[in-house]
Structure 1
Amino acid sequence: MSEQLDESFETLLRYMRDARGFDFTGYKRTSLTRRVRHRIEQLGVTSFEDYLDVLQASPEEFAALFNTILINVTAFFRDPAAWEFLRAEVIPNLVSARGGDQTIRVWSAGCASGQEAYTLAMLLADAMDPDAFRQRVKIYATDIDEDALTEARGASYDERAVESVPPDFLERYFEHVGNRYVFNKDLRRAVIFGRNDLVKDAPISRVDLLVCRNTLMYLNAETQRNVLRRLHFALAPAGVLFLGHAEMLLSHSDKFAPVDLANRIFVRAAGSRSELTRVEAPDPRTERQGSLTGLAPIRDLAFAASPVPQIVVTGQDTVAMINHQAEVTFGLSARDIGRLLRDLEISYRPVELRAYVEQAKVERRAAKIADVSWERPGAETTWFEIHVNPLVDSENGLVGVSVVFFDVTANRILVEKVVQTNGQLESAYEELQSTNEELETTNEELQSTVEELETTNEELQSTNEELETMNEELQSTNDELHTINETLRERTGELDDAKTFLGSLVNSINVGMIVLDREMRVVSWNGGSEELWGMRAEETTGVPFTNLDIGLPIEVLKPLIGNAFVDPQATGQALVQAVNRRGRRIEVRVTCSSFRSVDGVVSGALLMVESEEPPDR
């Protein structure tokens, strides 16, 4: 049964990846399963199979699911001690090392709603001259959650969100607008937000400071290794990596060296080599002069007739050109020209293109995406190598981005054949190595002992990461409860105001007003009644009206009250002799009508008692 549940959950993950391009297959199953179960329980769904049916029938459910999975728990200056070390030790060294006019490149990976990226901007601005900051600092802030990125670009936060910002920073770098705090516009221009999936998208390169906090702990060991290779590639020589306090890097000492282990700050290890390959783009600004005229139609025809699928996107992400081969291969047409890239299936299938297009626009550098498979029903798998090239004019102004799909299926088949041949050669070589294996047995036993110790250490690290994940989930739940509590407090205040208003209204009536329920118990007794009979509301509320000895002939009034209980429209009057609170005989006029609820149901009787004589002096 457990295997069946596991398989149904994996099927759900694959559908999310294929339908929306969100690949959670590398996330730890314990916390991921817990978050998805939390969502399906909210909907009253009992199984992963049924929830898959919900997603297929209601695509809008994806947004709610992603908001549940992506726990965007973040804050300004989260873990203050670590940020203080970064401010006092790391940033001054970084600014000093990058002297002159050199650009300082910072990457906030998994930035959520932007607090971390803006914290970096404040610390760097504080360490530099304002003009130098605006000219030299570039902060790239990325996340997989588009809704969180939209909130981050707005840079507007409520009072609770900025509680952790030091008062002097809050005054210098935020503008108080209504009940919100808006981050400084000049500093905001240095922060560039974009979507990037750390698991599969190309990393930003030549980064001096890379902040990736409390993100790795959600990933399984294999995916962590893959992401760390990308982060290592992203860092410039001597670049600094800042992780969350549950992330240790104990098994990656060949790539990263600790600067301050307690605060999880590391530096790219000297002499370490990246396992990824940089792709250098040719200079797109090279101008070719010629004396030929009327070349535009020829260029258009050549583009359309190219045997390689190609599309061109403007700087505003609008599809500007599609050649014939792209139409045939990906099912596009001339009607797609003028549409936004994100509205086309090709933007995320066979690969998520938008991050690469955004990177090409920001960095003015070409990117190459290798080994992209394209599976179509009834056809063999096609393999592409995709080139994403920025199109810039002679003044380095961005005109657009070209995306070219090179079919490398034949090359891949050839490579597989070569690999197969190599496998045969290796088999022969292994026979020659059998003699050497006996000598290596002792070494392997020692290595096995070391690996067991490393495994135990990794299990402890995994447990620590799982506890941190649960802590963030609890913090997210606490934030939700805080919001609910604020709403209830506001409602309670409104009810108190309404109650005070009604009490003032009732006591402002100069005549006696008595409200009875259907058992003739006193529900309301106003100040006019207290003045007539000398009994306070506390003494009469809840007491049967017939038990009150107030000098009012209640037996005479019973028919009026009974009629009010029966007929909602009935209103009766009686002029009776009574004795007031001073023991003096007076004549009073009693008006009795039905007391009705909002929906018109009779819930009691309303008595208005007015003295026909002037008040006592």
Structure 2
Amino acid sequence: MATKKTKATTSKTIIKSTPKKQPSSSPISAGRDENKKSGQITARPHASKTRKSAKDQPSNTKACMVVGIGASAGGLEAITELLKSLPNNTGIAFVIILHLDPTHKSMLTEILTRLTDIPVSEIKSNITVEPNHIYVIPSNTNLVILHGMLHLLPRVEISQQNLPIDYFLSSLAEDQGNKAVGVILSGNASDGTLGLKAIKAAGGITFAQNPESAKYDGMPRHAITAGNVDFVLPPQKIARELTLLGRHSYLLAVRAQKTDDQLLNDHDNLNRIFSLLRTATGADFTYYKPTTINRRIMRRMLLNNIEGLPGYVKYLQSNPVEVKTLSQDILIGITNFFREPEAFQQLKIEVFSKLTKDRPSDVPIRIWVPGCSTGEEAYSLAISLLEYFEEQSVSYPVQIFATDINAAAIEKARSGIYPGNIMQAVAPERVRRFFNKLNSSYQICKKVREMCIFSEQNIIKDPPFSRLDLLSCRNVLIYMGPVLHRKLIPTFHYALKPAGYLMLGTSESIGTFLDLFSLLDPKFKIYSKKAIHTPLNFDFDTIEETATKLEVSGRMNNIGADLWNNYDVLKEADRIMLAKYAPAGVLINDKLEILQFRGLTDPYLTHSPGLASLNLFKMVKSRLAVELQKVIQQAGKEERPVRKEGLEVKENGQSRNLNIEVFPFKDPVEGKNYFLIVFEEIISQTEAIMEQTQSNPEDSKGGTQPEGTQQLNQLRLELAATIEYQQSIIEQREATNEELRAANEEIQSSNEELQSTYEEMETAKEELQATNEELTTVNDELRNRNLELNQVNSDLKNLLSSINIPVIILDNDLRIRRFTTVAEKVFNLIPTDVGRPLSDIKPNIAFPQLEQMILEVINTLIIKEQEVQDRWGRWYSLCIRPYRTFENKIDGVVMTLFDINALKPSLEQRQEFYDYAAIVATIREPFLVLDAEFRVKLANHSFYQAFQVAPSETKDQLIFTLGNHQWDIPILRALLVEVLPKNTCFQDFKVELNFPKIGHKVFLLNARRIAGEGNLTPLILLAFEDITGQANN
């Protein structure tokens, strides 16, 4: 297909020719920054400099799904089957990445053009992908996609590992998000596994060819084993699923944005989904970022071919398995070993150096890694610490607590086993030192695994660890909304020691909590704790309870705002005041402390002499105090606005009439009570008449309004009486209040003592809670290790029980550790002998030097073997070998006895046979040793030399067939037949023969029976004496 030149020209401003490092957010790039020799492509533009995300930048992609297809050996056949099964109007753009010979031009485009009616183009740099097109990578290049445009990059050096499929699929995930699809077909090795992982994490969909249908199953099998594949199908069925996906409403250009909006606004159904997830898994996703939640929900809807959110809710309600699957999808973690390697180097400089300075050698370094996923981050920290210890020639005990809400991820982390392609992120030297090869996988060495304790934990609900030196929570907060940020950052502060450190991801921050942490490294977000006490709130169910009470619409509005602080309360007050009033007012909390003044409040509030106080009733003017207190109490009790009209306050001898209205409301997060008090000044009837009088002075002078004057005087009298009555009531109440105040002071004194005691108890409770969480985690780890140990013990017990060989395991002190059932008879053992010294046992074998030989094996590490006989005459082969632990330490010996009683005669016969052979070899006359069937078992060198024949022509041959059957002489046959049965012999049997090689010869033959001891098979010794010279004379 022809490419539009205008698009190619425009895109050149985006891709720079200057080589740059891969973005750290790409899963394939994380480790390659550490070791560039591992095959890093350096020409890819850095994502953070070119764009924020695919959403934020205008994409040239014409709103279509982009499918990346990766294949290698046998892949052409699979691609052919897939394309033949695709219709021409899927609405999808296909990009094919094949492992091609970099030294030859590819003919793949021409081949595929003949197979399908879909337009096929070999990629030229800066091509915009379009629906219903197939794009093929040319040879000797790598490929990325950026803003919907394909860009070719130089291939890495031939001597380095090139992973073009991982490379493109990772860029596809980053650029297209949940519109990315990855397909892995036939091929060897593991290219594509990390790319599928990136696509799945971005909300895209992944396929792998069924290994049984693949010509080479290495690539599909690796991807499936890693857990990164949604569909495992043969190529024809992959084509069918892709066709269905292309027709899904979400992926149609005209409805894609509409679907997102529907998700954001369908609060009722989102609330039902959160409730189902909370009930099934105990995890509350209410305050996760909406983009994360929406992306995961849409992905599951696509996989299940469900069009609308109401339909998906019904599907969840009837399918509990899907609820757990959705939860797993939301919790999917993108992690790798040494992600952003420079960050770990900076940790050594900024943190490790300070943690180890003047630190006692027996004080452990305590680290917490919340949201550890499958454990790569925790193990990377452990390895970095060990490297730092080695560099500085120091050593400290290390405790790394790694937790995650995902139980499956924790189990994988505990095992420490990772696919072979994960090692692309780790330098070869680290692989050699800290990993053990297990077939096609790698396992973290035991030394590193023992530094890490993994446990299932919900950091939102469960108490944190305490007394930590370092807390590493990288790329976890990015999935959570600000409400959770506000809860977790103080929790992290509480968990750290006074000189502790916090490390977040490069795109994360502590928000408004600048009073809790100081920034040490702005690039890698390393913070040090400020010496401020943080009371830990253990009311960890607040968020879940709030989630069930609040409308989801309130959730969607609140979590999109900045982090809640006092400013949020002020904003809520602004909303109420601006919506209904604009008068003077104050904002108070449930302790009646003024939090903010609004408008001109001088006529109603004033400062009292003495210590400064913001208590409302120490500032409000006395005429308002009683009524205001009643209104506040009523509003708090009834939880509704309460209004009081017709109050009066005097200022500078003048009276002001006003109304008071109190609005109660709560903090949506913490549930604390707040009150907004509004002072509304009104013009009284008296003032209205006075204004009317002032506005008509002539009428007043002329006496034309006598009734008005009388009415004014009357009102003044009534007002004075009312004020006098009210003042008397106030004085009575003030007297009562004074008495109550005295009693209250006594109560307050007692309360302060109780409060002090309560605070001490609360502090103790917090410490106990944190300690209990730590003990729970350690207990979980011990329980899991006990389960592993029990499993190993069970396996060993069953193995020993099933072996019909006497085996005894001894420790270095020659105490019995284990033995098989068969060994009980030979060594005279009973089950209670475990733990006893071997010297206390009298075995049923005759070998006095047994203990001496065992000690020699322990000291020299040389395996010893010896034939021994038991008291019943049976023969055994005793083998003693060192007992090596997993750490390659010697901790005793393993003794095995192999029954050789049936083999002993044969062994003796063979030894005797070898003795005969040695004797025969030293005799100068030609000799043959024949068995009972007259086959040659041995011939000496003189025989081969005299008759000029090779061993291959002689050994195991019948004597009568040697040469040209010269020795097939009837009389000789008769003589030989009688040698063994009758134990006879013959001498000087004369034979005269013509031989092709040596000519005419005359021999005297002598034969006799030879037999070994015991049951050894008898043999015939036949000697040849050459008398040719004597016969001629």
Q: Same fold (TM over 0.5)?
A: no
Higher relative contact order (CA 8 A, sep 6+): 1
Normalising by structure 2, we get a TM-score of 0.27
* TM-score, scaled to structure 1: 0.45
